[in-house]
């Protein structure tokens, strides 16, 4: 079995990245990690990935200033040098331009901490609580030009608890992110789910807490 070669791209602690590495440590998993890349040298996930023997790279976005495309070209060059087939954004906190989206079209996944299309952007948990939703969760989707938009590969949902605060809700959502992302990557990597245009073939993956 040939395993999809995956570059995971992070900005911070990388707990989703580690959940993907854990899943890919199984030789029967249809994908393997070839790179963990970050846009900040102090991203905690870089050391954690290196400790597991996964090649790492840092492309610091700051020297590029306002030239987002030049940063993305440098990041993409690292991903290409690792001969990755696919990019998993995992807590990558920079908006990507249409250049990167086109370069990795239908080969880049992202995880977002809300049930899209609700609550794109930041502070999703506080905004979900303020809106009084009963159900909240996370989404894995294909990357498209608009922020937190693109064909949905899978979603995981939980019931909001009475009196819950944003930190508690974030912790519970993160735990289901760690189940959802590997499940979506597995379905994607083995070809059980594909995109045609902007539609997923087959039903998106649905997980429920509990």
Cα(67)–Cα(69) distance, integer angstroms: 6
Among 82, 133, 174, 175, binds ligand GAR (CB under 6 A): 174
Strand partners, 38: 10, 58
Total Cβ atoms within 10 A of residue 78? 18
Instruction: Name the residue nearer to ligand GAR (CB basis): 103 or 172.
Output: 172
Residue 150 is a binding residue for ligand GAR (CB under 6 A): no
Question: Smallest distance from the beta carbon of 114 to ligand GAR, in angstroms?
Answer: 9
Question: Smallest distance from the beta carbon of 113 to ligand GAR, in angstroms?
Answer: 4
Residue 61 a catalytic site member:
no
Among 6, 8, 9, 16, binds ligand GAR (CB under 6 A): 16
Residue showing tokens 């040939």? 2
Binding span for ligand GAR by CB under 6 A among 60-68, 75-83, 107-115, 194-202: 107-115
Active site members? 112
For ligand GAR, the binding residues (CB under 6 A) are 10, 12-16, 90-91, 111-113, 138, 148, 174, 177
């Amino acid at each position: 079995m040939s395993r999809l070669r995956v570059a995971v791209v992070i900005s911070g602690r990388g707990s989703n990245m580690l959940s993907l590495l854990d899943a890919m440590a199984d030789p029967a998993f249809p994908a393997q990690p070839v790179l963990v890349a970050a846009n900040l040298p102090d991203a905690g996930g870089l050391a954690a990935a290196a400790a597991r023997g996964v090649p790492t790279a840092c492309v610091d976005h700051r020297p590029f200033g306002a030239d987002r495309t030049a940063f993305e070209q440098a990041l993409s060059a690292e991903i290409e040098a690792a001969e990755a087939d696919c990019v998993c954004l995992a807590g990558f906190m920079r908006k990507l331009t249409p250049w990167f989206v086109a370069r990795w079209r239908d080969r880049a996944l992202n995880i977002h901490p809300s049930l899209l299309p609700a609550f794109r952007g930041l502070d999703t948990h506080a905004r979900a609580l303020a809106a009084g939703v009963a159900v909240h969760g996370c989404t894995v989707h294909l990357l498209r030009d608009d922020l937190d938009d693109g064909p949905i590969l899978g979603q995981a949902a939980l019931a909001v608890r009475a009196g819950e605060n944003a930190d508690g809700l974030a912790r519970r959502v993160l735990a289901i992110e760690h189940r959802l992302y590997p499940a979506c990557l597995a379905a994607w990597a083995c070809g059980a789910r594909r995109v045609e245009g902007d539609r997923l073939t087959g039903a998106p993956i649905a997980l429920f807490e509990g």
